[in-house]
Amino acid sequence: MSTGAVPGPDGRLRCPWGLSTEDYTAYHDEEWGRPVHGDDALFERLCLEAFQSGLSWITILRRREGFRTAFAGFSIAAVARFTAADAARLLADEGIIRNRAKIDATLANARVLAEWPAGDLDELIWSYAPERKGRPVPKTLADVPAVTDESTALSKELKKRGLRFIGPTTAYALMQACGLVDDHLDGCVARRA
């Protein structure tokens, strides 16, 4: 099985995972690896990556709208005000992943982030983006790491500041999804020049 970029039905080369379902193709082509800025937007991605831990991303992607509804559009200020009744509601919500530890971490993280000045989450996360110059372009999936020194450092810093459920692997997935790194394979139509 090839692990390099492969042609899709339209003949354009893509990362192999981006061709496994229509949902993945849209996400691969339009979102993954594109720069994401803004505290609430990054909070959403941080939460979704944490909920994905131990599951396939397609499970999260297909419930994304349910997550957005359940978590007030991932407004940090709104989620920070969630009560015990809201936590109980979330545990009963079939539109999301009903994992108590992940729900509790999301609410706790929102409360921590609500205390930060506006723009600090964005600034902090993006301060861990590695230099693009000199970073090798992955040719196959085997060239894409699960963890890097930067993701380990980002995870440690977020934990130090009180955030939960954000280990180095989750931090790297966040970095990939939000465009801090471009792990689209060599030749992939979605790879930035």
Q: Which of 32, 49, 128, 172 is catalytic?
A: 49
49 is known as an active-site residue:
yes
State both tokens at 153. 């450092």
Q: How far apart are CA 173 and CA 169, in angstroms?
A: 6
Find the mean pLDDT for residues 95-116.
98
Q: Kindly give the residue spans of alpha helices, DSSP state H, lying in 81-167.
A: 84-92, 100-114, 120-126, 149-160
Check whether 1 has a pLDDT greater than 80: no
Q: Which of 17, 31, 57, 116 is catalytic?
A: 57
3-state class (DSSP) for residue 56:
coil
pTM for the structure as a whole: 0.95
pLDDT confidence tier of residue 118, bands split at 50, 70 and 90: very high
Tokens 């496994």 sit on residue: 20
* pLDDT per residue as tens digits for the range 57-90: 999 999 999 999 999 999 999 999 999 999 999 9
Classify residue 169 as exposed, middle or buried by CB count within 10 Å of its CB (0-12, 13-18, 19+).
middle
27 is known as an active-site residue:
yes
Q: How far apart are CA 19 and CA 151, in angstroms?
A: 26
pLDDT confidence tier of residue 192, bands split at 50, 70 and 90: confident
182 in Cβ contact with 132 (< 8 Å)? yes
57 is known as an active-site residue:
yes
Q: Which of 27, 32, 128, 172 is catalytic?
A: 27
